[in-house]
Amino acid sequence: MEHWLPFFHARLETLFDYLPNAPIVLDEQIPAQQAARWDSISEQYQTRMEALKDRARLDTIYKPVSPDGLYLDAPAWEAALSAHPVRHLSQLPQPSGPGVIDAGG
């Protein structure tokens, strides 16, 4: 039922709301994974919207929630990250310099 919360609440909280000062650590694959998941979510939403338009169906009509009601899109994600210290992990060696720490992992 939680996927219908946007129908009942004007705004949903995110983990960022509960941990306002927490540092964020991101894997190097996050941008690609985020884009792929957003594409999948958008595709599923469009499929459900098409099914909703098909009034000849006899099964239950599912009313989908817009993806931006449930998830942070790219601009909202960037805005949420901008308020936190963010660290990016990389499995490949990075050139030394300011902001680069080799943890030897």
What is the percentage of the chain residues whose pLDDT exceeds 90? 41
pLDDT, one tens digit per residue, over 34-63 is: 999 999 999 999 988 888 877 666 666 678
Burial 75-94 (b: 16+ CB within 10 A, else e): eebeeeeeeeeeeeeeeeee
What is the percentage of the chain residues whose pLDDT exceeds 70? 92
Which tokens belong to 101? 């720490």
Q: 105, exposed or middle or buried, with CB in 10 Å at 0-12, 13-18, 19+? A: exposed
pLDDT at 21 over 70: yes
